Structure 1
Amino acid sequence: MSYQINIVNWRDAEQQLKAVREKVFVFERRIPRNVEFDRHDRRAFHVLVVDKSTAEPIATGRITSQGEISRICVVISKRKTPVGKDVINTLLNIARRKKLKEVFINSSLDAVDYFAKHNFRPIGGVFMEAGVPRQRMICSLSDVSLKRFYLSH
């Protein structure tokens, strides 16, 4: 599978961003539309991933200028691909370019282990948001470096 990762703004890509988030959050996870789409959308930096063969949007995520990463989602048919990891890495790169020292995410409890693999660590207690138990997790950008791998034989 081949896909393209784009950094977009809400005004230019609203329909594509909404298409992915509605599939995942509104229809699949039953988050109310008025909760899913909020005032932060217009000011956040968004990542939009598009399948090159179909031109369909398949993943998204956003980061605010305060360092809050949120709305990361991947359509169900692409969840076993590295696209989710690529969304997170792109959001972390945006944070680095904005010279943020750390970022945070309010993770659903079932995703805590996933974000821990990306150098996020829990902080504080579990809380409720939109009827979903959440754990705030932070990631210091000084702890995250681009790793280089060398192959030998």
Structure 2
Amino acid sequence: MIELHRVTSQKEKDDAFHVRRVVFIDEQNVPEEIEIDAYDDHSIHLVGYENDKPVAAGRLRFVEGYGKLGRICVTKSCRGRSYGKEMILFMEYIVRKEGFNKTKLNAQIQAEKFYESLGYVTVSEEFMDAGIPHVTMTKSL
């Protein structure tokens, strides 16, 4: 079972960045200078724990009337347990709580069907980001 937190301490932020590092930098070979960017200083960060161990992360920004979901990841050993789905639902809850009613994200092509299952609709052609094919997807809340 996952316990999700909106980051409020340096430890939680470090834990969220650790999960991002493991998934995006170590596993997917995204360069660190692309993964950790200037948006991190002005974003809402989220972290998920399983038995007090950080296993999921996400980042939320507000851009052009959308809650922009990003950097959503789950460590390899914890995939298949619906933690990604729970993270998305938690992020959508925060978006609504902040007064917004639509979300946007850039999904890796391999995760497009997952996001479709949560009500997201593809609104762009395929594009490359950090050497990985992506599409932009939106959802009305």
Judge same fold: TM > 0.5, yes or no.
yes
Tell me the secondary structure at the aligned position of residue 72 of structure 2: strand
The runs of at least 4 consecutive aligned structure 1 residues that moved more than 2 Å come to 9-14
**Aligned residue in 2 for 1:34:** 33
Matches within 5 A, 1:1-153: 2-9=1-8, 11=10, 13-52=12-51, 55-66=52-63, 67-141=67-141
TM-score (normalizing by structure 1): 0.85
Counterpart Cα distance in 2 of 1:3 and 1:41:
23
Deviations 1:65-92 (A, max 9, x none): 2221110000111101121111000000
Q: CA shift at 1:13, angstroms?
A: 2.7
Deviations 1:11-58 (A, max 9, x none): 553311111011100000000011001111121112211112xx2100
Q: CA shift at 1:9, angstroms?
A: 4.6
Structure 2: stretches of 5+ with no match in the other structure = none
Bigger strand fraction:
2
Q: Is the 8 A contact 1:10 1:41 kept in 2?
A: no
Counterpart Cα distance in 2 of 1:43 and 1:94:
16
Bigger helix fraction:
2
Counterpart Cα distance in 1 of 2:8 and 2:132:
27
CA RMSD of superposed structures (Å) = 1.4
Aligned residues: 138
Counterpart Cα distance in 1 of 2:62 and 2:10:
17
Counterpart Cα distance in 2 of 1:101 and 1:87:
17
Tell me the secondary structure at the aligned position of residue 124 of structure 1: coil
TM-score (normalizing by structure 2): 0.92
Tell me the secondary structure at the aligned position of residue 38 of structure 2: coil
